[in-house]
Structure 1
Amino acid sequence: MRIEIPEGSLFGLANLPYGVFSAPGTPPRAGVRLGDSVVDLARALDDEVFAQPSLNPFMAQGYERWAQVRRQVTDLVSGEVPGEAVHAIDAVTLHLPVEVADYVDFYASEHHAANLGRLFRPDAPQPLTPNWKHLPIGYHGRAGTVVVSGTDIVRPCGQRKAPDEPAPTFGACRRLDIEAELGFIVGAGSRLGAGVSTSDFRHHVFGAVLVNDWSARDIQAWEYVPLGPFLGKSFATSISPWVVPLAALEAARVPTPVQDPAPLPYLRESEPWGLDIDLAVSWNGQEVTRPPYREMYWSPAQMLAHMTVNGATSRTGDLYASGTISGPAKDQRGAFIELTWGGQDPVEVNGEPRSFLLDGDEVVITATAPAADRTRLGFGEVRGRVRPSAHEGE
């Protein structure tokens, strides 16, 4: 059968993102999305590597294999596809696309870092910390709590201490927030003791996903000195089910903003890996902000180079995220703590002033980018709804 691509679809031939799906009566397996259809790659290509419940076995085959399969899939879906390999998108269940090996979250937006500096350190001479423009700051997260879009998020609990409270208390998070981010998935790992250079980025990173790094701001504020995020971040990180291949993002590549001072040699790039990607964040169905990824100071190639320069390994399935994506304008801020300036300047959501998330709230993040055929490609969505804490009364 020939797969029809609806006019204006964000999932045309220039995209072809990978995911893991199941149809009624079949186990999870790898597929590619085209239009409103999912192509079962194990059946279409007669290759058992795609009959696995994650993309990891395929990604581990490396860069040349990724390129070969992309050519095969493009040729296949441009013509006749076996009917038994094609499923309607609304007839399948989408799963976590990769088995996440390690998870690192960066802090790569100068606008976001400067805004939080002004909020948290209003008396400091500069909003950025002294090291910020010399290296991509990040922290190691919890791979086991990375979940696929559509998974409900239970309000986390922990210790909290507001400035006017004499001592900490235990209970449900009072200042639950989101962070709109882009995540990068390592396909081909690196050896212990051998870093990945910026020029080798494309040979190691398979593709990109949307990320919502849910954040318990009150728990985070009490715990983060001196070692940084812990329980305020580790309870859930949502990702989109579709992995957009790095090869599909060639037309979206742009230079990063001017980096001054010049980075140290291991962080310098011979080719630009900034990305012109537009995100949109909706809160209970209302769009509230549009963060632009092209404003990110540090590129994903620089993040990977820094993450491995000390000799740390990277592994198939590693996920590293950009940190909150924010632009210079108020309606480009990718976290609600920024958008509402710490709750002091609420935004109107469906006629109500809102600052942080309430139980029942739903957040949806989407994104598009220029495609090679001069259309636009999409990342799908990362969606999550907040559920009450099991310890609400404590």
Structure 2
Amino acid sequence: MLIGLAIVAGIVGWSGHVLALPVAFLFPALWAFSRSRLVAAGVAAGYFLAASRSLPQGVANFYASDLWPGLLLWIAASSSFVSVHAALWTNRPGRRRALRYLAAAVLTALPPFGIVGWAHPIIAAGVVFPGWGWLGLLAASAGMLVMTTRWWPAAAVACGGFWLWSAAFWTAPSLPDGLRGVDLEIGQNLGRDGALEHQRDLIATVMRVAEQGADIVVLPESALGFWTPSLERLWRDALGGTNVTVIAGAAVVDPWGYDNVLVEISGHEALILYRERMPVPVAMWQPWRSLMGQGGGAKAHFLTSPVVELAGRLAAPLICYEQLLVWPVLQAMWYRPDAIIAVGNGWWTAGTSIVAVQNAGTIAWARLFGVPLVTAFNR
């Protein structure tokens, strides 16, 4: 029964509907009520596998293969979450169990376990305590800890009350002044089409959005493809004589691999604004290549540059996979940014809820800290 309830919590909580996220708060109680380490492992596996159920189909789309590679990666990714919660489970109730859950929650939120720390219940703090900031994060953490004790009904009633109040008066995050995101539907051709006509179409799209009053236009991850001097010249010439600035995804290649980046382009200059801290493991980030003396794969810039300066204000960029994790967001929020810029290239998520889950998570973080949010995705 506990494993079944954990599966339901994973499915509903991570359905892609932001107001459903607090259902994930049930997981600590289900883990705590387990009567053996094996059952606790089953509860963790049921919750995580249900929450990340779209992964096999997404991997199959990405590699144009059958489901088997995705199923293997799905199970392998769950092993981190399951092993931590199984190892820290205890049959001793009270303070010790709560502290052990706290340790598990911290470990799965931070590297190295946090590298695949999807579906972390703490992300729901933004729905239950919108606008509370770090205090809301502490309140949500305290609520989850109490859920592992015999006072769990009180915690459930309190969190449920805040949740209902929040849902009744829920508002979406505001847009940053002057920033507008552009969603595209170019599919897998985005970033792979090197034709001049494709770049001119993107420039025309930017100009149409700028005419509606945007000073800074945000394009999705990988929108520009490989960043080259010729491409820089094309865009700078196109933006010359305007006050428009473009933030767009691109790839910067060197002999050892590549950086997944956001570039800032205006008529005056072009620069690398942000380098992705955590690319997708296996598909992009392949650290074993360097151990074997091989190049290739995306570089991970882990704890560097969590915020950037943009038009006199601080912005927290989040590229695709980073939106599913906890530590990239918290690292950026420590610097009190004025806006969150969330971009992604989700063509490979067709038929899944992955992009919806990403959006739900970024919306929850933006509401928790009261920060404006701009998004730009390709599908």
Question: What is the TM-score of this pair, normalised by structure 1?
Answer: 0.27
Question: Comparing both structures, which one devotes a greater share of its residues to strand?
Answer: 1
